[in-house]
Structure 1
Amino acid sequence: MRALVARRLIGPDGIELIDTAVPEPAAGQVRIKVAAAAVNPVDLAISSGALVEIGLTAQREQYGLGWDVAGTVDAAGPGTSLDVGTPVVGVADLLAQPLKTHAEYVVLGADTITPAPKGVELDHAATYGLNGLTALQAVDAIPGETIMVTGAAGGVGGYAVELAKHRGKTVIASAATADEELVRRLGADHFVDRNQDVAATVRRIAPAGVDGVIDAAVVGIGAQEAVRNGGHHVHVVGGPHPPHLRGITVHQIFIHVNPADLQELTGLVEQGVVSTRVAETYPLDEAVKAYKQVAEGGLRGRVVLLP
């Protein structure tokens, strides 16, 4: 089979498309024939060596690429219940695997996949797992009624807006001026232009401060200043996190796939509560172009590889 790997950690230009053996599932594992796999910023971070530099993974000779996947069950090891041919979605949440979802086949633990949402095309089904789970776990980390979301038009931020609204929260969303219509359509109650003094503007809406911020744009202290004393700040990237000022609890969210969250999220996609957005699709042999498009930023949706 063909698979994308990173051996020279120099970014997109170092990505290689290799021929390798089709992996075999062990007990508790499932092999998926990949129909679609999204490209995420974390894939860029792996291919550039950034995650090695900040100590999130050890130096290895080869890194597999890709976290999100949608496809069909191709083979199943002992102790699994999904039938061959079942459409599924999953997330490969182990960093240091030699082969991952940017491939023609991938083997994942059965507890990291679930049947795909009915009525959703597989290229769209491949877009919500990583970002949606991060957003779900971020929203659930914040008790209280008022949540601010930075980067609200992006992947994690957009899902955070939808999920916080679904949880009954009042949502204040920050994004670029051009994205106000999109962010309000996702469910935001209030919009704040990211080019303004975000904290001051938020405090005109919520004078005592919000109960928590999901800082998808990694604004840092500028976002935390909008949070009330004793509130919550969710930080969604690796490396150093903001300080715990004014009794604020800082949560550094590293996604962990579990069946309950993945099944809930998939059900919400199936119901139309959580949206899917595809910006562009590419075949595997144009993966470098796909990665470079993600690196340029500004996308409103995911770039998806179609093996």
Structure 2
Amino acid sequence: MLGVVAAALGGPEVLQVTELPEPEAGPGQVLVRIRAVCVHPADIAATTGEIPRGPVPPPFSPGWDIAGEVASVGSGTAEFAVGDRVVGMIPWYLTRGNPGGYAEFVAADVDWLVPLPDELDFVSAATVPLNAQTAHQGMSLVSLAMLPAGSSILVTGASGGVGGFAAQLALQGGFRVVAQASDGDEQWVRDLGVHEVVSRSVDLAKVGPVAAVFDAVPVGEAAAAIVEDRGIVVATRPTPPLVPDRGVRQELQLIRHDRELLADLVGQVAAGRLCTRVAVTMPLTEAADAHRRVLAGGLHGKLVLTVG
């Protein structure tokens, strides 16, 4: 089968399309014929070695979020059958690229996967697992702060994958949502139903105060500075402590796979209760160019690699 591996640590040029042995489904696994795999900033960070727990020694395969069809079923696996449509997240923080999703086939643990509703296509489905789960788990931390009903929350990066889902989930949670959007992306964010949209170019010091921040970019101190005393900031990457701390609770949200949660979120996207968007698709064989496009910025939505 064809796969893409990082042959060294570095920029997009380290990604190589190569022939790999086709994996076999072991006990408790299914072999997934990949139809779509999302390109995330985490994939780019893996190739440069800038990830938690330190760099992964090459060669390895990037790729977290996959959507496709069951090609074969391992022994003792009754949950899926050949031909079933599935979507899931490879817990890359555990597999460290063995396997990764940049391949024609992946032997996946059934716990990584959920059924893919017919209403949702492979490409759109591949944008959901990492982004939506991170957003939901981060919003759960905000909810634990027991803020008064109708409290204001600033969501940075609301035109991005995690931030877009976070803004929508904050609305579901009853928050007054102030959403920061990239320049030129304000209308898409406004259409999510948020209460106020601010451009990325706006000085955040003029926004707020707010009771909470979901810092999906993250921008760090500039966003946290507008949180009320004893409020909460949830960031998707480590940020410096506030000085003075003002009793503000700071939380770091790193993804952890939750199959039941993923099934619910995929169902919400399929039913139209949550929105996602795809900027462009590219063939798996153009993974290096795909990384270059993501690094260049300016995409209005996710970039998804397609297979077959």
* Aligned equivalent of 2:58: 61
Partners in 2 of 1:36 and 1:59 — Cα distance?
24
* Aligned equivalent of 1:91: 89
Cα deviation, residue 177, structure 1: 4.3
Residue deviations 1:242-281 (CA, integer Å, cap 9, x gap): 3152222222111111112101101111110111211111
Partners in 2 of 1:299 and 1:59 — Cα distance?
28
User: Residue 149 of structure 1 contacts residue 171 of structure 1 at CA under 8 Å; is this kept in 2?
Assistant: yes
3-state SS of paired residue (1:117): coil
* Aligned equivalent of 2:32: 32
Partners in 1 of 2:252 and 2:246 — Cα distance?
17
3-state SS of paired residue (2:185): helix
Cα deviation, residue 190, structure 1: 1.1
1:73 matched to 2:79:
no
For residue 199 of structure 1, the aligned residue among 192, 197, 205 is: 205
Partners in 1 of 2:92 and 2:288 — Cα distance?
22
* Aligned equivalent of 2:302: 302
Normalised by the length of structure 2, the TM-score is 0.91
Residue deviations 1:177-227 (CA, integer Å, cap 9, x gap): 422211111121112233222133223xxxxxx221111121101101121
Cα deviation, residue 156, structure 1: 1.0
Normalised by the length of structure 1, the TM-score is 0.91
3-state SS of paired residue (2:120): coil
**Structure 1 residues 147 and 104 mapped into 2: Cα distance closer, same or farther (>3 Å)?**
same
* Aligned equivalent of 2:273: 273
Q: How does 1:125-274 map to 2 (within 5 A)?
A: 125-143=125-143, 144=147, 145-203=151-209, 210-237=210-237, 240-243=238-241, 245-274=245-274
Residue deviations 1:52-101 (CA, integer Å, cap 9, x gap): xxx52454232211111110111222244111111010011223133311
Structure 1 stretches of 4+ moved >3 Å = none
User: Residue 283 of structure 2 contacts residue 305 of structure 2 at CA under 8 Å; is this kept in 1?
Assistant: yes
User: Residue 35 of structure 2 contacts residue 67 of structure 2 at CA under 8 Å; is this kept in 1?
Assistant: yes
| Aligned residues between the structures | 296
Unmatched runs of 5 consecutive residues or more in structure 1? 204-209
Residue deviations 1:111-146 (CA, integer Å, cap 9, x gap): 121011331211111112111111111111102333
Equivalent position amino acid for 1:106 in 2: V
Partners in 1 of 2:183 and 2:18 — Cα distance?
42
3-state SS of paired residue (2:88): strand
3-state SS of paired residue (2:276): coil
Unmatched runs of 5 consecutive residues or more in structure 2? none
3-state SS of paired residue (1:148): strand
Equivalent position amino acid for 1:104 in 2: E
CA RMSD of aligned residues (A): 1.6
* Aligned equivalent of 1:206: none
* Aligned equivalent of 2:288: 288
Q: Report % sequence identity.
A: 36
3-state SS of paired residue (1:70): strand
Partners in 1 of 2:258 and 2:222 — Cα distance?
32
Partners in 2 of 1:248 and 1:121 — Cα distance?
41
